[in-house]
Amino acid sequence: MKKVITYGTFDLFHYGHRRLLERAKALGDHLIVGVTSEDFDKARGKINVQQSLMERIEVLKATGLADEIIVEEYEGQKIDDILRYNVDIFAIGSDWVGKFDYLKQYCEVVYLERTEGVSSSELRAEKRELRLGIVGDELPFLSKFERESHYVNGLSISGLCHLRRHESIPDNLLQLPLLTSNFEEIVDASDAIFLNSTPQQHYNQIKYALMHGRHVLCEPPVSMRRDEWDELMRLAEEKKCLLMDALRTAYAMAYRRLLLLVKSGVIGKVCSVDSSITVQRDTELKGDELINVRNSISTWGANALLPVFQLLGTDYQSKRIITHIENESLKYDTFSKIDFVYPEAVASIKVGKGVKTEGSLVVSGTTGYIYVPAPWWKTEYFEVRREDPSFNKRYFYQLDGEGIRYELVSFIRAVQTGRSYPYISGQVSKAMVAILEDFYNEKDLIRI
Ligand code: CTP
């Protein structure tokens, strides 16, 4: 019996896929189809495959063309499969000519002419593009954000709304269709808005965007007060719009795997979570910076709180905010530390723009701890450590584009399907707002 094997993502199964499988099957008596897993696709840069692995397998099964379906999960697996299944022919589309010649030492390699005029990427892009307007003043970051958006099918950046005057706007932002300082104008030109503005501006901006039927992706905290958060979420529901927290860390593979590992009990019961995010501010606040300046807690608070709330929940018994306020009228804190007491655990975060410390994350449990080195919020690496170091384990996950592209893919998918998979739950989102509200009202707060 002659065995043939082929591989692909087979997203949004189309005529080109069918023709390829028919010809591959005709080369022998038994066709094995390797379908790429989500993680493997991500690792090789295909990030917005629309259908899940199971959906793609189901569609393939229904064609009746595959005698056997396997999942491709890692680099180099093809050699393993060819040997394991005793494969005679490896067949693949002509877009890969030459790329798989290294398999010739294991079996025959056949490149089949690719069908012209159809591809999954085109089908994905055919769905109407979502025009996303970006709003904010951290231009180096927004420039990166714009560049990252090119990796995401079905999305285009409609323009930039920035409120501060800038000496130099990065080239890629200058080339956007719209540059304005008028928020209403960017809303008009967009289907959705990304907010990188200050939390003080969020409430009015989100309300305006939602009232006009625009989806919102907002850097947390979503608002300055709990009641505002409730109101905005109600409004989003009423207008059938999405209001989603944008926190890159939450979408990063290493961080998500860490959460799952902890939840599966790898370090026993969690007793303590410690996270720090600090940056050294190199200049004094001056001029334009004094308008809408972001203090430490509103810049980094939500990010530092993320693992605390996601691992221990939001029902803490008590908290204490210890802060050093440098500028009273701006409530500019150069350093803030927040301690939480839970029924059976504690947590502590440190954020600062005028203090430098190790930006690590440590999650301590009854049978070990997880250490994520600085900068933990954009890490690709962490360690599970135990009393006996021979049981330590290291984990690596590549983080492309600091997680921005994954965040955008989740957002656009949620908009398209009307279903959002909560990487950051409503409870966590609101708990972040509550901390900011208490900071400004000086509730549970000690000044140093
Ligand atoms: N294929 C083909 N003709 C097409 C599209 C794909 O012969 N018009 C072949 C590919 O060469 C490959 C297999 O079908 O051998 C699976 O391809 P896959 O990458 O899943 O499909 P594409 O449509 O090329 O997807 P994308 O646009 O995401 O690259």
78-121 residue pLDDT tens? 999 999 999 999 999 999 999 999 999 999 999 999 999 899 88
Residue of 38, 96, 114 with the most ligand 1 atoms within 8 Å of its CB, for mutation: 114
Residue of 17, 46, 100, 110 with the most ligand 1 atoms within 8 Å of its CB, for mutation: 17
241-265 residue pLDDT tens? 999 999 999 988 899 999 999 999 9
Q: Whose CA is nearest to atom 13 of ligand 1?
A: 8
Cα 43 to ligand 1 centroid, rounded to whole Å: 18
Q: Whose CA is nearest to atom 9 of ligand 1?
A: 93
Mean pLDDT value of segment 391-413: 88
108-157 residue pLDDT tens? 999 999 999 899 888 877 777 899 999 998 899 999 999 999 988 889 99
Cα 28 to ligand 1 centroid, rounded to whole Å: 21
Mean pLDDT value of segment 272-280: 92
Kindly give the number of the ligand 1 atom that is closest to the alpha carbon of 121. 27
Mean pLDDT value of segment 390-399: 91
Cα 90 to ligand 1 centroid, rounded to whole Å: 15
Give residues (CB < 6 A) around ligand 1.
8-11, 16-17, 20, 92-93, 95, 114-115, 118-121
Kindly give the number of the ligand 1 atom that is closest to the alpha carbon of 118. 8
Percent over 90 (pLDDT), the chain: 75
Cα 326 to ligand 1 centroid, rounded to whole Å: 58
Q: Whose CA is nearest to atom 14 of ligand 1?
A: 17
Cα 50 to ligand 1 centroid, rounded to whole Å: 14
Cα 347 to ligand 1 centroid, rounded to whole Å: 49
The full 3-state SS of the chain, as one line of letters, equals CCEEEEEECCCCCCHHHHHHHHHHHHCCCEEEEEEECHHHHHHCCCCCCCCCHHHHHHHHHHHCCCCEEEEECCCCHHHHHHHHCCCCEEEEEHHHCCCCHHHHHCCEEEEECCCCCCCHHHHHHHCCCEEEEEEECCHHHHHHHHHHHCCCCCEEEEEEECCCCCCCCCHHHHCCCCEECCHHHHHHCCCEEEEECCHHHHHHHHHHHHHCCCEEEECCCCCCCHHHHHHHHHHHHHCCCCEEECCHHHHCHHHHHHHHHHHCCCCCCEEEEEEEEECCCCCCCCHHHHCCCCCHHHHHHHHHHHHHHHHHCCCCCEEEEEEEEEECCCCEEEEEEEEEEECCEEEEEEEECCCCCCCCEEEEECCCEEEECCCHHHCCEEEEECCCHHHCEEEECCCHHHHHHHHHHHHHHHHHHCCCCCCCCHHHHHHHHHHHHHHHHCCCEEEC
Please report the domains of the chain, with CATH numbers, ordered by start residue: 3-118 (3.40.50.620), 129-246 (3.40.50.720), 249-447 (3.30.360.10)
Cα 51 to ligand 1 centroid, rounded to whole Å: 15
Kindly give the number of the ligand 1 atom that is closest to the alpha carbon of 9. 20
Kindly give the number of the ligand 1 atom that is closest to the alpha carbon of 123. 27
164-177 residue pLDDT tens? 766 688 999 999 99
Residue of 18, 92, 95, 111 with the most ligand 1 atoms within 8 Å of its CB, for mutation: 95
Residue 421: predicted pLDDT:
66
